[in-house]
Amino acid sequence: MVLACCQKNTGMSHQTAVKKEVFGTMPDGREVKIFTLANRNGLEARVTEYGAILVSVKTPDKSGKSADITLGYDTLDGWLTNTSYFGATVGRFGNRIKDGKFTLDGREYTLATNNDPGGIPCHLHGGVTGFDKVLWSGKPTDENGVEFTYLSKDGEEGYPGNLSVKVTYSLTDADELIWEATATTDAPTIVNIVHHTYWNLSGDLSASINDHVLTLNAPSYLPTDAGLIPTGEIATVAGTPMDFTTPQPIGVRVDDDFEALKHGGGYDHAWVLEKGTGVRLAARVKDPKTGRVMEVLTDQSAVQFYGGNFLDGTATGKGGVNYAHRTGLCLETEGFPDSPNKPSFPSPVLRPGETYRHVMIHRFSAE
Ligand code: BGC
């Protein structure tokens, strides 16, 4: 059911429309909306109030054929079963926190240990009911976009402070999907809000991403222990299978006998981005078959490149596809994992009066 159609004059000759529809209802009966963004080049992105999730992105390949290039589900009921964080806005702290504990201003906080890579429990992606599993409030913006807001209450999932969060998605006629998160708090807390879409630029969501060619603007990465918690070392990528400073097909070295790859079961690490200020290029990925290219730009210090190693075919998604091992890749721009416990890492602490801000741009093309 189409609820509304918000016409917006964005330029001399072009009009865009954000379409708002009912997507379904939460188990407690609350209504969930879905919004469709489109641009003049035939790109389409759908976003929902559930988890501030990016539900789908349709882009043309080099022959003009359009396909959905994101893993996920066809219906809200499917999304409610999402345990892989497909498309999600992840928080309050995306990525891992060792032992689910951190100390802030002398007080220790205990969070859920909802993940255990290598059999070692840790806190992952905000806990049991993180930002990906709550209902946000969405409304169209003047920028061919949608703004989602959510109040994460003091104590929610063990985090201190009432955190007011805003996430916007905007689609430009330059084929950029802009995701931006901002947050303010009324008490000191930690924040690392992360966008977690799984991409498969081939548009065939049953195909491996190992033939995608990846470039990371990152001279170093964060080695981890067996529980995927950074050791604190910042290691150069030079001479290792972690070196994506030049374009490399993902699958060529993914199973090399290299400690980081053994721990992650493949690529699942934070790369430290080339130093700089403002929004800058972090990653470029290309599917050679379809020619689709996606560039990722950000103002953050790191990007978690996760190659879908934990996908095991048990989740049945769009069109009945079972998402198999390494059929989607994530490029999650963010602060450093486990930074609450690593004084040498950039601080994730947000204090009253400060504003957390994270910009992530996906720029699509085909060649
Ligand atoms: C992590 C993976 C984890 C996945 C969950 C990624 O951000 O790096 O280790 O399995 O999220 O979907």
Q: Which of 281, 282, 327, 275 is nearest to 304 (CA)?
A: 282
Ligand 1 atom closest to Cα of residue 90: 7
Per-residue pLDDT of the chain (367 residues; tens, 9 = 90+): 444 444 343 333 344 689 999 999 999 999 999 999 999 999 999 999 999 999 999 999 999 999 999 999 999 999 999 999 999 999 999 999 999 999 999 999 999 999 999 999 999 999 999 999 999 999 999 999 999 999 999 999 999 999 999 999 999 999 999 999 999 999 999 999 999 999 999 999 999 999 999 999 999 999 999 999 999 999 999 999 999 999 999 999 999 999 999 999 999 999 999 999 999 999 999 999 999 999 999 999 999 999 999 999 999 999 999 999 999 999 999 999 999 999 999 999 999 999 999 999 999 999 9
Q: Is 224 in the pocket of ligand 1 (CB under 6 A)?
A: no
User: What counts of helices (H) and strands (E) characterise the chain?
Assistant: 2, 28
Rounded to 5°, angle at Cα 123 from 120 and 127: 140
Ligand 1 atom closest to Cα of residue 196: 7
Residue nearest to atom 10 of ligand 1 (CA): 310
Residue nearest to atom 7 of ligand 1 (CA): 95
* Largest pairwise CA distance in the chain: 59
What secondary structure letter does DSSP report for 134?
S
pTM here? Answer: 0.95
Count CB-CB contacts under 10 A for residue 197: 27
What secondary structure letter does DSSP report for 78?
H
**Distance between CA 230 and CA 241 in Å, rounded?**
18
What secondary structure letter does DSSP report for 123?
E
Give the mutation target among 124, 128, 327 for probing the ligand 1 site: most ligand atoms within 8 A of CB.
124
Beta strand 302-306 pairing with 330-334: antiparallel
Decide if 256 contacts 266 (C-beta within 8 A).
Answer: no
